[in-house]
Amino acid sequence: MSLETPTPGEPSPAELGAATPRRTTLWRERNFLKLWSAQTISQFGDEITQLALPLVAIITLQATPFQIGLLGTFQFLPFILLTIPAGVWVDRMRRRPILIAADLGRAALLVSIPVAFIGGWLTIVQLYAVAFAVGCLEVFFDVAYQSYLPAVVRRDQLVEGNAKLELSNSASTVIGPGVAGFLVELFRAPFAILFDALSYLGSALMLLFIRSPEPAPEPHDLATGPRPSMRQEAAEGLRYVLGHRYLRYIAACTGTLNLFGNIGGVIMVLYIVRELGITPGTLGLIFALANLGVLIGALSAERLARWFGLGPVIVVSAALSPFMLVLVAIAPRDAPIPFLVAGGVIGAATAVIYNVNQVSFRQAITPERMLGRMNATMRFIVWGTIPIGSIAGGILGGMIGLQATIWIGAIGSFIGFLPVLLSPVRGLESIPDAEAT
């Protein structure tokens, strides 16, 4: 293995409190660059589908607000149903094969949408089914992906690695929505989804090129008794997160932000298209400009944590994120674009700054054998609130109106930062040693 990654059972320098090895830039680490390339290709396609899939429902199938909310629910329901067992499987297996299989499966599922459209049998039920199945594979990919990065880079490189991954995400989010809006207008929304399917194939190919051997999971020591069941191992992951003096507060913060953010966010595209009169092409351009915030966040996340401290940056970025929905809600109908762009920039920048720092922190302080279950438990908590918010947003959108629903999401999001503000997370200056947590 070309990178300085601890072998199974060997503590890292951070865990021992030893001096950190001389830091080298990840630009020279070919295995990380391949992983980064795979993520970049996949993220670009994701941005197309993120805009195209709801537009298929809104424009092609004339979906109602409730149906749009239900579509968002099906996309994230797997994070409630599968995340915990996925974490156990990921800790029992090598992570790279899981990533490749998830990419190939998602490509095949997305191809079914344009095929059904051509055949004339595309329905909202199929969109629900594809969204749910893709979400199931996304669960495994996401848990394995966050658990795989520490096998590719050293722990002292995690913030740099996550920042670079977010930087590639910024490039795709800046370019992707504009391209998506153009493709929807040029080829119609179902055909735009084909580009995401192709991106998954490209991602799988790049993952195959990673030659660094991934250590096998540490075998169970029979001297300690029979191997724990999946339920016992899943329970251990839950106890680890919920009992951790930092992780439980990060989970509460992120889960609350996702709950209320999706109450307003799930019907946001519907509100912008139908009530503000924005066309798909213009919407893609707005998203592209707004996602410059991702670039700002990726370039500043590590520096801000060094200048002001890890904890304060996590708290402030969480506190500022709800202003995205506020600016959408107050956007005037005769000139909404500046408000939509500004809100998007704030939302994207704060989300990236928050995620780069808290995800790197989680990865660094968690023992390797627990990474899959820790990430799975966190995903279960923080993404499990997304379908709840989505269905609530769809119901409220039909009952009280789209703009009022966005206001509820915005106001509720302002309580999201309280768990980290009122916890030990606030006092973190930097990522501590694993033993110190």
Averaged pLDDT, 310-319: 96
121, two tokens = 């049998």
Do 159 and 363 meet the contact criterion of CB atoms below 8 Å apart?
no
Residue 414: the pLDDT is 95
The answer for 120, left when phi > 0, alpha when psi is -120 to 50, beta otherwise, is: left
Residue of 382, 361, 350 whose CA lies nearest to 425: 361
pLDDT at 364 over 80: yes
Whether 426 has a pLDDT exceeding 90, the answer reads yes
pLDDT at position 171, please?
A: 63
Q: What is residue 217's three-state secondary structure?
A: coil
d(CA 204, CA 432): 34
* 170 pLDDT tier (thresholds 50, 70, 90): low
Least confident among 185-189, 277-281, 294-298, 396-400: 185-189
435 pLDDT band (50/70/90 cuts)? very low
Instruction: Please check the confidence at residue 131 and state whether its pLDDT lies above 70.
Output: yes
Q: Residue 285 pLDDT > 90, yes or no?
A: no
Q: What is the pLDDT of residues 60-100, one digit of tens each?
A: 888 888 888 888 788 778 877 888 888 777 777 788 889 99
Count of CB atoms situated within 10 Å of the CB of 217: 16
Average pLDDT of the segment spanning 246-269: 93
Backbone angles phi, psi at 109, to 5 degrees: -65, -45
Task: Decide: pTM greater than 0.85.
Answer: no
Split at pLDDT 50, 70, 90, the class of 226 is: low
- Give the percent of the chain with pLDDT over 90: 30
Residues 293, 237 contacting (CB under 8 angstroms): no
Over residues 136-157, the mean pLDDT reads 79
Task: Report the topology of domain 28-209+230-432.
Answer: Growth Hormone; Chain: A; (1.20.1250)
Average pLDDT of the chain to the nearest whole number: 81
Query: What is residue 19's predicted lDDT score, i.e. its pLDDT?
Result: 39
Three-state DSSP at 175 gives helix
pLDDT confidence bin for 10, thresholds 50/70/90: very low
pLDDT of res. 15: 37
pLDDT value for 215: 64
Per residue in 177-192, pLDDT (tens digit) is 667 777 777 777 788 8
- Which is nearest to 386 in space by CA: 268, 263, 269, 271? 263
Q: How many CB atoms lie within 10 A of CB 422?
A: 11
Helical segments of 12-94, H only? 13-16, 30-55, 65-76, 78-81, 83-92
| Single-letter code of the amino acid located at 342 | A
**Where residue 45 falls among pLDDT bands split at 50, 70, 90?**
confident
Q: For 44-58, 142-156, 219-233, 248-262, which range has the lowest pLDDT when averaged over its residues? A: 219-233
Reported as type and span, the H/E element at residue 395 is helix 385-400
CA distance 309 to 59: 46
Instruction: DSSP letter for 93, please.
Output: S
pLDDT computed for residue 166 by the predictor? 67
Question: In what helix (H) or strand (E) does residue 119 lie, and over which residues does it extend?
Answer: helix 95-119
pLDDT band at 17 (very low <50, low <70, confident <90, very high): very low
Indicate the pLDDT class of residue 21, thresholds 50, 70 and 90: very low
DSSP structural state of residue 61: S
Would you kindly state where each structural domain of the chain is located, as residue ranges?
28-209+230-432
Which 3-state string (H, E, C) describes 217-246? CCCCCHHHCCCCCHHHHHHHHHHHHHCCCC
Instruction: For residue 24, name the pLDDT band (cuts at 50, 70, 90).
Output: low
Weakest mean pLDDT among 13-22, 216-225, 252-261, 262-271: 13-22
Which of 348, 234, 221 minimizes the C-alpha distance to 293? 348
Q: Which residue has the higher pLDDT, 168 or 436?
A: 168
Q: Say yes or no to pLDDT of 229 above 70.
A: no
> Is the pLDDT reported for residue 399 higher than 60?
yes
